[in-house]
Structure 1
């Protein structure tokens, strides 16, 4: 059972340092949904001691939230739910377009919709998914603070915000969590978000700690991705660069084996060792939760951290952030 925890400001319950990420459960961009298996996955995560479930309306256009709501309604639990808002989409199912939208009226509607889909009266952690530069940040923050004062939200967070944007938000409302990409290959947050979080008493929810499966250890030179798979748009997964990443993965795998750990546990542990970090462990099948407890009870040594840096310097010295995932601004 997971025992390593952090306190998120605004929440009374200690939070497991691994949270369940549910993007894939929504089905969109992940080959379609499998609801019964998704519910079993959430139950398996709860049994493993994970008590924070992270979701978002855009994960399947409401479907992920609905599945999370169903799963938590079917099993006694003490889980906390984190969701997001600030991404809107067009009505048509084919060639659907996303765009950022954090206008106050949209925020209020999204919170009401999330409460209904999640089957809860209060959202434990509400985050803005991406900054909407066409809406003043203070207007968005003010509406979220109103919803918090109304008892519909317990704590507030932001995702993919710059430090300057967070400063503006904090003039109006507190930031309890910050959610950036952070993994062995995507490390920009180390220099920006992590120092900011430490200074302002916020917790970092690191998304993509397994770098969309690259750090699972299950990929090889023959691995390919269909056109509708988001990884087909990521230069890290395109040859010849893909081969350089795989070479680094092989060395990380050897390091993990010396500690009698899986590569997954090694990769997530590296992220947790950065500071006040909770790692999002994405899964859509119960077996994908296996091994989560191998993350706890140990840390990388300084020698191991230095060796990680050396491996990266030799194979992939330039950080490539997942900017291709950013939705466009609205027209």
Structure 2
């Protein structure tokens, strides 16, 4: 495994980090808790020491699963990355969405990062995780109803109390990162980034490189589309967020699969899957410190971790990027 320190902090994380969104079941059509714990353990055995979670994933269930998984692991060898600022149990702040919990009940979710709310959320997360500190505490989404300095002051207090080791943000723009930095030193920004979603290359990525902020790329497999296993017209249940995602139209899936076939020989030459090649390309992009990859069972977790087992040299990265740009040109 390869490891990186987050920004200039002392928090060192595995470049492949276990993403536990799907483990919470929410928006992914259910979860099997034993499978998720097994997946985390299988990842850890291959050097994946970092786990990213959030309270909103399954309304606490994902954090509880992570807590169960780390009970038998040495706490000082595991990095817990969790978040705050998405409330499903309090109608306050910036309305985010209507959704359903794992029991199928309708709930409203709000982006809210007021001072008292953060302090409460941290205590709840520590309890669910069964630990007394969080390695990286991230604001899940910006909250336009709360001044950023109020949010960052609350996190600063948690750091002073030893409950949080380092502060990060998620889904922040450059302007928001600059505003946060006036109050609290942030070490990372967790943002969506994949071969099919590269908009952060315009501003967030260059800013982060200049200011030594780590980029944690989420959805690097674009919700499974970049595995090559999704077929045009594939059915997704209404509870699955892919059911309404424009990248999963039959036309889009066909186009992506054609691109993947062009890079498949390179994957085969590395004795790697397409998914592993996609992860390696993503990690090769300047400024990308970490990819967050989900797994619902041990087999998937092992495949993800083994993406680190081979290298891509510069001309191979360029070959993939050129094919990717050809695909985008055809759709422009």
Deviation of 1:165 after TM superposition, in Å, equals 0.4
- 1:18-167 matches, within 5 Å, as 18-76=16-74, 78-90=77-89, 93=101, 94-167=105-178
Q: Which residue, out of 278, 283, 292, partners 2:290?
A: 278
1:257, distance to aligned residue in structure 2 (A): 1.7
Higher mean alpha-carbon deviation, 245-254 vs 232-241, is at 245-254
CA distance in 2, matches of 1:74, 1:309: 41
| SS in structure 2 of the partner of residue 28 of structure 1 | coil
Contact (CA 8 Å) 1:24, 1:30: kept in 2 or not?
A: yes
Per-residue CA deviations over 1:156-177 (Å, capped at 9, x if unaligned) read 0001000000000000001111
Contact 1:221-1:246 at 8 Å conserved across structures: no
1:16-69: per-residue Cα shift (whole Å, max 9, x none)? 111000000001111112111111111111111111100000000000001100
RMSD after superposition: 2.1
Comparing 149-158 with 303-312, greater Cα deviation is found at 303-312
- Residue 309 in 1 paired to residue 317 in 2? no
| 2:46–2:305 contact (8 Å) kept in structure 1 | yes
Say which is worse superposed, 92-101 or 82-91, in terms of deviation: 92-101
Structure 2 counterpart of 1:213, from 220, 224, 239: 224
Unaligned runs of at least 5 residues, structure 2: 91-99
**1:101, distance to aligned residue in structure 2 (A):** 0.6
Query: Which residue is 1:326 aligned to?
Result: none
C-alpha distance in structure 2 between counterparts of 1:319 and 1:118, whole Å: 44
Inter-partner Cα distance in structure 2 for 1:314 and 1:13: 39
1:89 Cα offset (Å): 1.4
Alpha-carbon distance in structure 1 between the residues aligned to 2:131 and 2:8 = 17
- The question of whether the paired residues in 1 share the 8 Å contact of 2:24 and 2:62 is answered with yes
Structure number with higher strand proportion: 2
> What's the TM-score, normalizing by structure 2?
0.90
Secondary structure of the residue that 1:183 maps to in structure 2? coil
- Which piece of structure 1 moves more, 219-228 or 99-108? 219-228
Q: Distance in 1 between matches of 2:209 and 2:216?
A: 13
Residue-by-residue CA offset, 1:190-223 (whole Å, 9 max, x unaligned): 2222212211112111101111101122222252
Task: Check 1:13–1:177 CA distance in 2 against 1; reply closer, same or farther (3 A cut).
Answer: closer
Q: Which moved more, 1:286-295 or 1:76-85?
A: 286-295
Q: How big is the shift at 1:311?
A: 2.1
Secondary structure at the counterpart of residue 113 of structure 1: helix
3-state SS of paired residue (2:254): helix
Contact 1:48–1:292 (8 Å) recurs in 2: no
Q: Scaled by the length of structure 1, what TM-score is found?
A: 0.90
Give the distance between the partners of 2:188 and 2:11, measured in 1 at CA: 15
In structure 1, C-alpha distance between the alignment counterparts of 2:331 and 2:22, rounded to whole Å: 25
Measured after TM superposition, the shift of residue 266 of structure 1 is 0.9
The answer to whether the 8 A contact 1:236-1:245 is kept is: no
Is the 2:189–2:215 contact (alpha carbons within 8 Å) kept by the matching residues of 1?
A: yes
CA distance in 1 between partners of 2:148 and 2:245 (Å): 29
C-alpha deviation, 1:265, in angstroms: 1.4
Contact 2:226/2:256 (8 A) holds in 1: no
CA distances 1:206-257 after superposition (whole Å, capped 9, x unpaired)? 1011111011222222522122110112100012222212212222323322
Q: Report the alpha carbon displacement of residue 10 of structure 1 after superposing the two structures with TM.
A: 6.5
Q: Provide the residue aligned with 2:96 in structure 1.
A: none
Check whether the contact 2:225–2:253 (CA below 8 A) recurs between aligned residues. Answer: no
Which residue is equivalent to 1:327? none
How many Å separate the matches in 1 of 2:146 and 2:257? 41
* Alpha-carbon separation, structure 2, partners of 1:9 and 1:312: 29
